[in-house]
Chain A
Amino acid sequence: MGDVVIEVENLSKLYRLGTIGTGSLRQDLQRWWTTSVLKQEDPFFQAHGTEALAANKQSILALQNINFKVNQGEVLGIIGSNGSGKSTLLKIISRIVRPTKGAVRGRGSVSSLLEVGTGFHKELTGRENVYISGYILGMSKSEIREKFDEIVAFSGVEAFIDTPVKRYSSGMYVRLAFAVAAHLEPDILIVDEVLAVGDADFQKKCLGKMRETSQTDGRTILFVSHSMQAINNLCDKALWLNQGKMMELGEVSSVVNKYIMGIQQFKLKQEWSTPAEAPGNDFIRFKSVELVPQLSTPDAPLDIRTPLTVKFQFWNMTDDVLLSTSLLLFSYGGECIFDVLSPASRCDKGLVEGECNIPGNFLNDGSYYFSIIVVKDTSVELYNYEECLSVDVEDYRENIQWYGKWWGAVRPKFPFRLHQKEMAFQQ
C-alpha cells in the first residue's frame, strides 16, 4: 500500500440522447462552424454548462463531478443500482470512452475486463481464442505462451482446446474466457460484474485468484458487482454511486451498510395525497403502502432475522360494505409464497387502515414483492394492487461453515432438535 495509482478528478460524462439522424449532421456542422471557424465557445457544452444541458432532457449526465484516489494494492468496490454510472466510470478509466469534463490520471498498465470473452469468436478453436483474446486484453506473445498450459488447466477444458468454441457448453466457454482474464498481470485491473456468470465453484476460484494477486503482487483492482457479499469479501474500500453522483466513499462494510439502508428507504414506502392520483378504481383508492422493518439499531441491515410490518391505508368509496384484505407475498421469480387473509370488517366511506406482521426468521435471503387485494363480502375482488411493495432481504448466518445459496422460498426457524438417542456398542 502506498502511492496513489489512480486519480479521478472532477469527472463528468454527458450522453446526448435521441437518435443520431439528419439533425445531427446539421448540429455537427453548426458546432464545427462556431468552434473552429468563428473561434467561439462550443454552443452545446460550455454555453449553458453541462448541468443545464442535462436539465433540458436532451442528454443525461451519467457521471457528475466524481473525485477519488486509489492507492497501490487497494481493491476498490464500486456499488450502485442499475444506471448509477458504474459501468461508465469503468469505461472511462479503461480508456474506452472519453469523459465530457475532468480527468483520470494513473500510473502503470491497465487491463479491463468488462465482459467475459472479449475478442472470442465462436468459429475459432479454444487455443486460437486464448491467443487472440490474450492479445486484445494486452498480453504479449511470450506471456501467453508461458501461461498457456496454466490457463487451460485453470479452465479445465484441456480435452477440447482444439475444438471450435461454438461446440462448447456455455459453462466451458465462460471458464476458458475467464481463465485468460484471470492470468492477466497488469498493474491495475478493472473488473465489471463478470462474476455474474459461471457456476458457484468457479466464481469462488476466480475471487480467490483476484484476492491473491492483489495481496502478493500489489495489484490495484477496481471491482463492480451487485453481490454485496462478493464486495465485502474482496474489497478494502467501496464507492457508492447513485444516478451519477458519489454518495459514499470509504471502508467497505460501512459503505455497503449505508447502501443497503439507502436503497431500502427508497423502496419501502409509497404514498399519495389525493384519491385522484392514487392507484385504484371506483371502489378503492390506496393512500399509502409501507413496509416497516423492526430493526434492532437504526443502521442495522434488513436481514432474515428482521420482523416486518406491512401497513396500508385506502379510501373506501362505498357506504356499508363488508371488506377484507389479502396480503400476498411473491418470490422474485413470481411464485406465490403465501396469501394471508384479514378478518372481514364492515366499513363506511372514508379511510381504512390495515396492518400485518411477518415475524423475523421466516423469509429466506433474496428479493420479494407484495400485492394487496381488497375483497368485498369475502368473495368479490374489488381491487388488486399488484407489486405494491418490494423488499431485499439480506443473508445472515451464525456458526455455519457453508456459504452457498440457501435453498427455499422461506427459511423459517421451526423448533428442531437433534440429540444422541443411544450410544452404539455400549452395554
Chain B
Amino acid sequence: MPESKKGWDWEITSKTSYWGWSMREIWSYRHLLGSLVRRDFLLSYQQTVLGPLWILLQPLLTLVTYVLVFGKLVGVSTGNLPPVLFYFSGIVLWSLFSDSFGGTSNTFRDNAQVFSKVYFPRLIVPLAVTSTQFFRFFIQFVMLLLLIGYYWAFQDLPSPFSLITLAFPFAVICTAGIGLGLGLLFSVITAKYRDIAGTVTLGIRLFMYLTPVIYPLESLPEKYRWMVQLNPLTPLFELNRLSLLGEGTVTAGQLLYSIIFMIVVLSGAMLVFNKQSDKLIDVV
C-alpha cells in the first residue's frame, strides 16, 4: 500500500526500529529534561534538615569511612598522595559512574506509571538522570578543588596541575558515558526480568573493587594487574588522578581502549533502548 502511506505525518505499526528516534524530537522535549532534573533536585532535598548540603555530605562521609577503614585499618597504600585527596577524587568520579548506571538502570520500572499514560521520547528520562548526576558531580568537584587548594597552600603539596589536567573532562565524560550506556542496557533487561535489578546494585558495588578507586593501580602485584586493566574504567580513573593530582599510570593505548568501549556500549545501548522501549510498556 505505498499509496496510502503518502501524505501522512506519522504511522504506528508493530515494527520498532533501531534508528527510529530523531535528535529533533528529543530537542523539542529539552524543557521536559530540564524540569525533570529540577524535580529530582527538589525532591531529594525537600523536607530534609540539611537540604542540598547532602550533595557534599555524602561523599565526605564516604571519605571518612575510607580513610578510617582502608587507610588506617587495612593500610592500603595511596602512593605519595595524601589519602584524603586520593580517596576523594576517586569517590567523586565513582559516584558519577555508579549513580548514572544505577539510576538509569531502573528507568522502566520507576516510570512505568507515566510511560503507560503518555508518550514522550523515553530517552529523556535516562538523560535527565545522567544530567542530574553531572550537576552533583560538578558541585563535588568544586569541593575537591578546594581540598586540593588547601593541601597545596598548607600541606606542601606540589602544584599538581600541568598540561595533562586538560584531559580531565575527557575522563569524566567517558566515565559518565559508560555509566549511561550500561544503565540503558540494563534498564531494558530489568524491565523484563525484575530480579536483575538487585544484582545491578550489588554488581556495581563489587565492581568498585576492580577499579582503582581506593588503591592505585601501581600498588597491585604485577601478576594480578591485568585483571584490573581489563576494566575499561581503570585507565579513566588513573587519568582522573593523573590530571588532578599528578600521579597515575596510564598509556594512550589504554585510553583508546576505554574510548572504544564507551562508544560501542553507549551507541549499542541507545539502539537497543530505542528498539525495545515501545515494546516494554506491555511488560512492565
Identify the A interface with B (CB < 8 A): 7, 9, 15-16, 20, 24-25, 28, 91-108, 110, 112, 114-115, 118-119, 121, 123-124, 128, 131-132, 135-138, 140-141, 164
Contact = CB atoms under 8 A, between A and B. Distances in A.
Contact of A119 (B13, B118, B282): B118
18 contacts: A95-B278, A96-B118, A97-B282, A98-B16, A98-B279, A99-B12, A103-B12, A105-B10, A112-B117, A118-B114, A121-B39, A123-B42, A123-B43, A123-B46, A128-B35, A128-B39, A136-B114, A140-B28
Contacts of B46: 123, 164
Interface in B1-42: 4-5, 7-14, 16, 28-29, 31-32, 35-36, 38-39, 42
A136 B192 contact: no
Interface centre among B36, B39, B43, B278 (most CB of A within 10 A): B39
B53 to A, nearest CB: 19
Nearest to A132: B35
Contacts of A110: 10, 119
A104 B118 contact: no
A98 B14 CA distance: 5
Contacts of A132: 32, 35-36, 39
A411 to B, nearest CB: 38
Contacts of A112: 117-119
A7 B4 contact: yes
Q: How large is the interface on B (under 10, 10 to 19, 20 to 34, 35 or more residues)?
A: 35 or more
Contacts of B29: 135
A26 B118 CA distance: 31
Nearest to A119: B114
Contacts of A119: 114, 118
Interface in B239-284: 278-279, 281-283
Given A112-B119, A135-B35, 9 more contacts: A9-B4, A98-B279, A106-B8, A106-B11, A110-B10, A123-B43, A132-B39, A136-B32, A141-B31
B101 interface: no
B193 interface: yes
Contact of A136 (B47, B118, B193): B118
Contact of A98 (B4, B12, B38, B114): B12
Contacts of B137: none
A205 to B, nearest CB: 23
A317 to B, nearest CB: 51
B116 interface: yes
A94 B28 CA distance: 18
Nearest to A45: B14
A136 B16 CA distance: 22
B278 A105 contact: no
Given A115-B117, A118-B117, A138-B120, A98 B192 contact: no
B117 A96 contact: yes
B94 interface: no
A154 B37 CA distance: 28
A124 B42 contact: yes
A118 B39 contact: no
B237 interface: no
Contacts of B4: 7, 9, 105
B97 interface: no
8 closest A-B pairs (Cβ-Cβ)? A135-B32, A95-B119, A105-B8, A104-B12, A103-B13, A141-B31, A105-B11, A132-B35
Contacts of B114: 118-119, 136
B108 interface: no
Contacts of A24: 192
A287 to B, nearest CB: 45
Given A121-B39, A128-B39, A96 B116 contact: yes
B115 interface: yes
A176 B28 CA distance: 25
A20 B192 contact: yes
B283 A96 contact: no
B13 A102 contact: yes
Residue in B4, B9, B118 with the greatest tally of chain A CB atoms within 10 Å: B118
A100 B31 contact: no
B192 A101 contact: no
Given A118-B114, A123-B46, A132-B35, A15 B282 contact: yes
A108 B7 CA distance: 11
A99 B16 CA distance: 11
B14 A118 contact: no
Nearest to B282: A97
A114 B118 contact: yes
Nearest to B281: A97
B42 A128 contact: yes
A112 B117 CA distance: 8
Contacts of B115: 96
Given A15-B282, A123-B46, A95 B31 contact: no
B222 to A, nearest CB: 41
Given A20-B192, A99-B13, A123-B43, A105 B5 contact: yes
Contacts of B282: 15-16, 97-98
A128 B40 CA distance: 12
B43 A121 contact: yes
A150 to B, nearest CB: 19
Given A15-B282, A94-B119, A106 B9 contact: yes
Given A20-B192, A123-B46, A136-B114, A131 B12 contact: no
